[in-house]
Structure 1
């Protein structure tokens, strides 16, 4: 019984030492990768609205922790139609643009960015209702890689809907109009009171003259 207990204890310590060595080796392997790989930050609007038949800019900017170089930076745009789960790449940029030569976005997608200025935008010309869906912008600047793509939900409509900016403009315009109306009423009331006072003084003076006579 004593021998069995000793063997079990020795096996336990041996396994513990093996796990410690394995964990140390794993950390040593992973540590260089953690220092070398940085996250690319990509910024896009969450939603856009465009009128059918017009042009719309899909704005995409990025931030990299490594120096920017034309020959290293690559940009990819992909599209996922509304209600679908499959995403398809349709536009690529590296040193020059590679617009689609076939498919849904042929003659519709043009490069509008400048990677040295951290701009990876494209413009969709003559947008169609079939463009409703999610557009993803992915940027790479090795060894800086991107963890998540910037996503824009595009809504193609037949006419412009009232946006928050339009509502704000209407509210501000209405407030300014109300203030002007109040000022005009105030001026007219002041003039009316002044004229009435002047007329009253004239009548008093006339009565005084009549009394003297």
Structure 2
């Protein structure tokens, strides 16, 4: 039995079609650009972020929506056949999708800033697969969803490239600081030696200009020259006795007379 269409229903369909034609004809839709990390690694049991941003020529409105979907890469998984919605965001509200992700997905982006990232916690091995991020910002509704390949691995199997890079950078900085310190010590040592050398040179020049004191031997000789006469040594001392009595044989009142300091000219 064929469905019957009323006249009013037909009129509404025709009016809607005409409105769409007018809107599409006067304002053509533009493609929205969506970006996401091509590959993300998460250790099992930890919290990870699946980033997604978009670029639209239109101002983000309340009618903008975000859809995150998941497709497993494991053949025995029930989500391996086609993508399944795990999270939907519209009008400032989030709506969980699959039961397996209901309590593990959280919206952490800001759609007004064109960031629609989500957080996955905790990551499980069953999450290995492809996550799709799709954004609609009417009239920008035509766009290709961004894809992110998620790899959930053991903590021990994570690459240590970043750790090695950080350690190498720290060691390089320490070596550079040591070289700078050694260079500064060498420069200070050279400047110190140069200062000492210039000080010794100035002292030598001053001492060479100062009058030299006479030697003690010379002063002693000068003293001796001042006391010793230039003539010959002192001759013998002659003692004589004088007789005051007038008698030749009398020696009663005789006084010794000393004549000394007799020199030859």
TM-score by length of 2: 0.55
Distance 1:128 1:196 in 2: 69
1:78 aligns with 2:76: no
Note the aligned Cα RMSD (angstroms). Answer: 3.4
Aligned to 1:145: 141
- The 8 Å contact of residues 32 and 140 in structure 2, kept in 1 or not, is answered as yes
Shift of 1:45: 1.5
Separation in 2 of the partners of 1:129 and 1:34? 50
**What is residue 219 of structure 2 aligned with on the other side?**
none
Q: Offset of 1:137 from its aligned partner? A: 0.3
- Partner SS, residue 75 of structure 1: strand
Q: Does 1:57 align with 2:54?
A: no
What do the CA deviations read for 1:4-35 (whole angstroms, capped 9, x no partner)?
A: xxxxxxxxxxxxxxxxxxxxxxxxx9xx5695
- Confirm or deny: 8 A CA contact 2:109 2:118 kept in the other structure: yes
Bigger mean CA deviation after superposition, 78-87 or 50-59: 78-87
Change (3 A) 1:116 1:186: closer
Matches within 5 A, 1:37-116: 37-70=29-62, 72-83=63-74, 86=81, 87-95=83-91, 96-100=93-97, 102-103=99-100, 105-116=101-112
> Could you say which structure has the higher helix fraction?
1
Residues 50, 156 of structure 1: 8 Å contact kept = yes
Figure out how many residues of one structure are paired with residues of the other and give that number. Answer: 178
Contact 1:101–1:107 (8 Å) recurs in 2: no
Question: Compared with structure 1, are the counterparts of its residues 200 and 78 closer, same or farther at alpha carbon in structure 2 (3 Å cutoff)?
Answer: same
For the pair shown, which has the larger CA radius of gyration, 1 or 2? 2
TM-score, reference length from structure 1: 0.66
Q: How does 1:117-136 map to 2 (within 5 A)?
A: 117-136=113-132
Return closer, same or farther for 1:163/1:78 CA change in 2, 3 Å cut-off. farther
- SS where residue 174 of structure 2 aligns? helix
